[in-house]
Structure 1
């Protein structure tokens, strides 16, 4: 099979992901073999590229968002059969989806939305799981019409889907941040009730809208930059949830307001073999929301063909932090 892989960790300037020919993998008893039709890229892809080297002379294959068709199933697989169209994010410790075929634990996958193309479905899994686990599964607090949630980075992949999930499943007031007109419009299209500029002081931006404080802050990017502002705009006993990787997270100023911190990492369940089946069930709910018209794909740019050039372009867009929504690479051409 064709795959995109590398052997030595490297930066974008020295991009060295190559097109390789590898054997088609065999599924174990709990896995399905998937013929991949579309993939999307995420910041985790370039973070792993910067740090992970090949082991036992086996190339590193990135990619943790995919949609495709089941070609073969293991003996213990339940609820799926050959020919099913599925979507999933996968396991960070195993080879990713930048290939024509991949094996994946069946508990981590779900049947893709019937009304979505493979490309549209591939945009959803990692970001949907991240947002759902962070904001819904975590049970931070009862969400009511009076609840105000601030999403920092509303135009990114996770922010884009978080807006929609909250709009579809709760009655909270959704406040998103965006600094460019196109990202502001994108957030409004997805259902944000209010969009403020994260390049300005957040407290001042909220005060302009007669909002003194919020109940939850969902930090999807640059959390370190907002640590001083967070205690100023979160209510007492409020919640700060983040997904990015600041080198330092000084939360000492949070104590006075008894602010709780939840750090979401979507791969925890697969890494520690902990309640894997819940990720498949979350994706089933995402598919149902999509099929009912309550959720649209966050696909915003599509490339044709599994090539090293396309992957380089996608990584460059992500590292430049100028992309809106999700970038898709379509293999089904």
Structure 2
């Protein structure tokens, strides 16, 4: 099979190589997937930059089940599925991949493969952060269309970097499945409009976050979902979070931060890492369940794909271009590559 592997070299121009690899054989719990489309995430760029050896990366895919391990349940050959997978195993930048069936769900029927490929990793990260980590109350039914944009002012969620892949899904899920007022940060006109399309009640400039919120009469927020380097936003978060408020973050920092700053407010800070379930075999079936629920919400018209652009077919040049755009810091939504017709 064809695969695009990282080389272990730091320069982006030399970072990828196309090579032939044996088609993988599914383990007892695995599905063998013939991949149709993939998307690229910031974690891909981080792993590529830190790698010292050649390997296949990529953890967002849509494809068709070609074979099943003897313990794999809930799927049949020919099923179209979507998943993010396990960061400790070979990735999806290839024609075929084996993945634990418990991490997989049938893809939304209403989406094209490129639209579906944009979703798994970011949607899982958003869901786990909101409902498993922050512990937000989940509505029994999505918000009626007539109520969209009418969040309750007394409960607020601040989404830092709302136009990114995770932020886009956080906004949508919070608007549809909670009673919170959703505030997103963005600075460029395109990013602001994207956040509004996702459903944000208010969009403010992260470069002047505290002042921008104060101008809207907002001194504190109840919850913060930080989708950017926490070191860049730490002081703002400690100032804005209310007493006993909760903060969840997905992006680490090399800067020094003062964790004690949250103590005076008895506020909580926690991490979300989508790969934690697979890495530690901690109820991995939860991710398959979440993806199945997301597919239902998408097919019912309550959520939309965050696909922003299809870069082209999977190749060394196109994969490098996707990484380049992510590293620029200006990407909106998700970038997708096709793998098979």
- Does the alignment reach a TM-score above 0.5? yes
Q: Is the 8 A contact 1:9 1:51 kept in 2?
A: no
1:6 alignment partner in structure 2: 6
Taking the TM superposition and a 5 Å limit, the aligned residue runs for 1:135-174 are: 135-142=130-137, 145=152, 146-174=154-182
Matches of 1:133 and 1:9, distance apart in 2 = 33
Q: Is the 8 A contact 2:131 2:137 kept in 1?
A: no
Normalised TM-score (structure 1): 0.95
- The alignment status of 1:229 with 2:252, answered yes or no, reads no
1:33 alignment partner in structure 2: 32
Larger deviation: 226-235 or 291-300?
Answer: 226-235
- The alignment status of 1:214 with 2:221, answered yes or no, reads yes
Taking the TM superposition and a 5 Å limit, the aligned residue runs for 1:1-333 are: 1-12=1-12, 14-54=13-53, 59-142=54-137, 145=152, 146-200=154-208, 202-247=209-254, 248-333=256-341
How far off its partner does 1:140 sit? 3.0
Which digits, 9 at most, give the CA deviation of each residue in 1:183-232, with x for residues without a partner? 100000110000000011x2211111111210011110122111112222
> Aligned residues, how many?
327
Larger deviation: 250-259 or 31-40?
Answer: 250-259
Larger deviation: 272-281 or 202-211?
Answer: 202-211
Q: Secondary structure at the match of 1:236?
A: strand
Matches of 2:334 and 2:136, distance apart in 1 = 29
Q: Is the 8 A contact 2:38 2:114 kept in 1?
A: yes
Matches of 2:16 and 2:136, distance apart in 1 = 44
Q: Is the 8 A contact 2:158 2:184 kept in 1?
A: yes
Q: Is the 8 A contact 1:4 1:61 kept in 2?
A: yes
Q: Secondary structure at the match of 1:63?
A: coil
Matches of 2:7 and 2:331, distance apart in 1 = 27
Larger deviation: 90-99 or 131-140?
Answer: 131-140
Q: Is the 8 A contact 2:136 2:178 kept in 1?
A: no
Matches of 2:304 and 2:212, distance apart in 1 = 28
Q: Is the 8 A contact 2:7 2:17 kept in 1?
A: no
Matches of 1:250 and 1:9, distance apart in 2 = 35
Q: Is the 8 A contact 2:160 2:225 kept in 1?
A: yes
Q: Is the 8 A contact 1:15 1:312 kept in 2?
A: no
Which digits, 9 at most, give the CA deviation of each residue in 1:35-58, with x for residues without a partner? 00000000110111111233xxxx
Which digits, 9 at most, give the CA deviation of each residue in 1:99-143, with x for residues without a partner? 000000000000000001111111000001111111112253547
Q: Structure 2, unaligned stretches of length 5 or more?
A: 139-150
Matches of 1:15 and 1:174, distance apart in 2 = 42
Q: Considering only aligned residues, what root-mean-square deviation do their CA atoms show, in Å?
A: 1.3
Matches of 1:60 and 1:319, distance apart in 2 = 20
